[in-house]
Structure 1
Amino acid sequence: MTDTNMTETHLEMRWLPVTAPDGRTRMEAVWVEVGQPAAAHSHAA
């Protein structure tokens, strides 16, 4: 194993409502850093 010297980051999975272009809303799981606003890490298509 290689020591990458990464800073310790705590990730948490959250379910966020994502509105598709057709107007329908679905729930999508995203990983967010604890303490950061969840919306900043959305990766919806």
Structure 2
Amino acid sequence: MSVEDPSWRIRDHLRGRNQASLSVSAMVASLDRRLIVKAPSA
């Protein structure tokens, strides 16, 4: 079943990208929290 090999590779690649995007989103969320805390409440 050589046809399933690329699909598995794509799934692994997407899995890695999802983990990376989650870490980036976590960093952005922490930065947003800092900005919200630093920003004066209007």
Fold similarity call, TM over 0.5: no
Structure number with the bigger relative contact order (C-alpha 8 A, sep ≥ 6) is 1
| Structure with greater strand percent | 1
| Structure with greater helix percent | 2
TM-score (norm 2): 0.18
Larger Rg: 2
TM-score (norm 1): 0.18
